[in-house]
Amino acid sequence: MSRPLIGVTVSERSGWRIFPLVNLNLWLAGARGVRWGVDHPHDLTQVDGIVIGGGDDIGPELYGGTLGVSARLDPERDALERGLAAQAADMNMPVLGICRGAQMLNVALGGTLDQNAWQTFGMERKIRTILPKREVCVDAGTLLAEHTGPEPMKVNALHTQAVQDLGDGLQVCARDTAGMIQAVERTRDPFALGVQWHPEHLFYARRQRAIFRALVAAARARREARGQNAAAHADAQGKAFTI
């Protein structure tokens, strides 16, 4: 059976180095990725799931905020990813949001962000590194815990914003030791999980690879269900023709 195809949105500035990492994780999980972006083709009908990747801060006008300390914004990417996240929900398509992607998933579903998260939770707690230096507490009974286990985990931290008010149908599934939201997930189908860290940099960690495996499993299940529905429809048409 061929590998599920996953659309991966990345920054036009840093995508050249981030996409290969995300694609590596998808490949290890049994899928393959295709790079999407403002200047790259994107078509939800051609993929089995999507990853909304990390990058610049999200423009506050998307969630009713005002421009504050955000230094780098990308309005075109904001519009693209917000649309993709909303369409994916309508199409029952699995979504994994990474860092900015987790925040975009929340915003697309009507949530808000804290633009100055480190000031809110204490600048002395700020950690900015791709190394697993930040402890995250996973909520038991969540989708995230089902795939990674409920034990605390060490993750990296590159974000400046954070999820604040939850979007429709989302719940918190992990916080750091300061109480900052670090992961959110949909409470019903389709599969949607957003983590504010960068698991693609932690491909050597079994629990981080499990996040990509969860997305790929959901994408494969969706593709198989669509194939069965198409076969049943074709069979029904064939029977109707012979009658």
Question: Which domains are assigned to the chain?
Answer: 5-242 (3.40.50.880)
Instruction: Tell the residue number behind the tokens 């860092």, with chain if given.
Output: 99
Contact, 100 vs 54, CB < 8 A? yes
Considering 42, 159, 200, 201, which one is annotated as catalytic? 200
Sites in the chain below the pLDDT cut of 50:
none
Contacts of 81 (CB under 8 A, 6+ apart): 9, 52, 101, 104, 108
Phi, psi of 181 (to 5 degrees): -65, 130
In whole angstroms, give the CA distance from residue 91 to residue 84: 10
pLDDT on residue 68: 62
Contact, 158 vs 180, CB < 8 A? no
Considering 42, 81, 185, 198, which one is annotated as catalytic? 198
In whole angstroms, give the CA distance from residue 79 to residue 57: 13
Give the helix, strand, coil percentages of the chain, each rounded to 5: 40, 25, 35
Q: Hey, is 200 helix, strand or coil?
A: helix
Phi, psi of 232 (to 5 degrees): -65, -40
Residue 233 annotated among the catalytic residues of the structure? no
Beta bridge partners of 175: 137, 181
In whole angstroms, give the CA distance from residue 198 to residue 201: 6
pLDDT on residue 236: 56
pLDDT on residue 206: 97
Q: Structure pTM?
A: 0.92
> Sign of dihedral through CA atoms 62, 67, 201, 203?
negative
Beta bridge partners of 36: 9
pLDDT on residue 44: 95
Could you count the other beta carbons within 10 Å of the beta carbon of residue 2?
A: 7
Residues listed for the chain? 243
pLDDT on residue 12: 84
Q: Hey, is 185 helix, strand or coil?
A: strand
Considering 99, 159, 173, 185, which one is annotated as catalytic? 99
In whole angstroms, give the CA distance from residue 49 to residue 24: 16
Residue 137 annotated among the catalytic residues of the structure? no
